[in-house]
């Protein structure tokens, strides 16, 4: 499991997280930034000022801050990602309350999945916030849950870059994922981390979304798997209903 560096530089960590949030969610007010990062308004203003200086952000006429030239890749539409995060958070919190481990929502992004939101558990040893991070879709539990449901052409585009033997092995695994309705990541992305993922049914213009539970491998037990899958499946269905009831994304 990837741990926070022993000598982490808090200001650097905050700036990098802020850059990820701007890239994924779009323009934010200074007060929004302060609330999301858990810092004072003056600290948020200083962080934004440095990002503007290095072209990671720019200030709009309405005084909000938007992604700057460095961050304008356009891989993930920002408004839908922000809406997805807000819709998913209540369901993630219920999952965490039920299972006592961290829960995430991810969105398919090319050959990766990108973490849109995390709700951490209250355990001392726990999986931390993954918001803004990207992982290879063929390794992450949420990524495999999404890949299993893609059409043949889109799935082949991802698997084709992995080599013949790896692609064949993964195709067999994805058939099992489709049959079972969940995917498992047993230390494939980080030593010491085990995760279970379930795809969210397409709804409201959203597709390629998955929910996952992540835990330290030392605490994971196969006996817990049925209840984890049940919690994720219920949450994924509820999230899909909420997304479908909201204004469709154009």
Task: Give the tens place of pLDDT for each residue, 20-57.
Answer: 888 878 888 999 999 988 899 999 999 999 888 877 88
Angle CA(10)–CA(11)–CA(12) in degrees, nearest 5? Answer: 90
Query: What is the predicted pLDDT for the residue at 77?
Result: 53
In the chain, CATH 1.10.10.10 sits at 10-71
Mean pLDDT value across residues 169-189: 95
Q: Using an 8 Å Cβ cutoff, are 135 and 112 in contact?
A: yes
Given the candidates 1.10.287.610, 3.20.10.10, 1.10.10.10, 1.20.1740.10, the CATH classification of the domain at 10-71 is 1.10.10.10
Residue range(s) occupied by CATH 3.30.450.40 in the chain: 78-245
Round the average pLDDT of the chain to a whole number and report it.
88
Residues 6 or more apart whose CB falls under 8 angstroms from that of 73 comprise 23
Which one is predicted more confidently, 56 or 200?
A: 200
Question: Between 191 and 8, where is the model more confident?
Answer: 191
Q: Three-class SS of residue 11?
A: helix
pLDDT bucket at 250, cuts 50 / 70 / 90: very low
pLDDT score of 209 more than 90: yes
R_g (Cα) of the chain, nearest Å:
18
CATH code for 78-245? 3.30.450.40
Q: How far apart are CA 137 and CA 139, in angstroms?
A: 5
Specify the higher pLDDT residue, 75 or 229. 229
Give the Cα separation of 212 and 198 in Å (integer): 6
Examine the pLDDT at 248 and tell me if it is beyond 90: no
**Dist CA 93 CA 91 (whole Å):** 5
Chain-centre distance for alpha carbon 150: 18
Other Cβ atoms less than 10 A from the Cβ of 134: the count is 20
Judging by DSSP bridges, how do beta strands 209-216 and 193-199 pair with one another?
antiparallel
């Amino acid at each position: 499991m990837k741990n926070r560096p022993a000598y982490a530089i808090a200001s650097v960590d905050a700036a990098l997280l802020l850059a990820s949030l701007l890239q994924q969610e779009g323009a934010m007010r200074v007060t929004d930034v302060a609330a999301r990062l858990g810092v004072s308004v003056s600290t948020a203003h200083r962080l934004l000022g440095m990002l503007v200086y290095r072209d990671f952000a720019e200030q709009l006429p309405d005084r909000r801050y938007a992604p700057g030239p460095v961050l304008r890749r356009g891989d993930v539409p920002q408004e839908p990602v922000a809406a997805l995060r807000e819709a998913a958070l209540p369901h993630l919190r219920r999952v965490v309350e039920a299972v006592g481990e961290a829960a995430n929502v991810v969105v398919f992004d090319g050959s990766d999945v990108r973490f849109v939101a995390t709700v951490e558990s209250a355990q001392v040893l726990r999986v931390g916030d993954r918001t803004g991070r990207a992982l290879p879709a063929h390794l992450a539990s949420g990524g495999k849950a999404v890949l299993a449901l893609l059409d043949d052409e889109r799935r082949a585009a991802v698997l084709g870059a992995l080599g013949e033997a790896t692609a064949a092995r993964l195709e067999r695994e994805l058939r099992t994922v489709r049959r079972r309705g969940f995917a498992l990541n047993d230390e494939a992305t980080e030593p010491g981390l085990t995760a279970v993922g379930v795809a969210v049914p397409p709804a409201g213009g959203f597709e390629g979304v998955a929910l996952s539970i992540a835990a330290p491998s030392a605490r994971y037990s196969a006996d817990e798997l049925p209840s984890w899958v049940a919690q994720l499946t219920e949450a994924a269905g509820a999230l899909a209903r909420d997304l479908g009831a909201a204004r469709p994304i154009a």
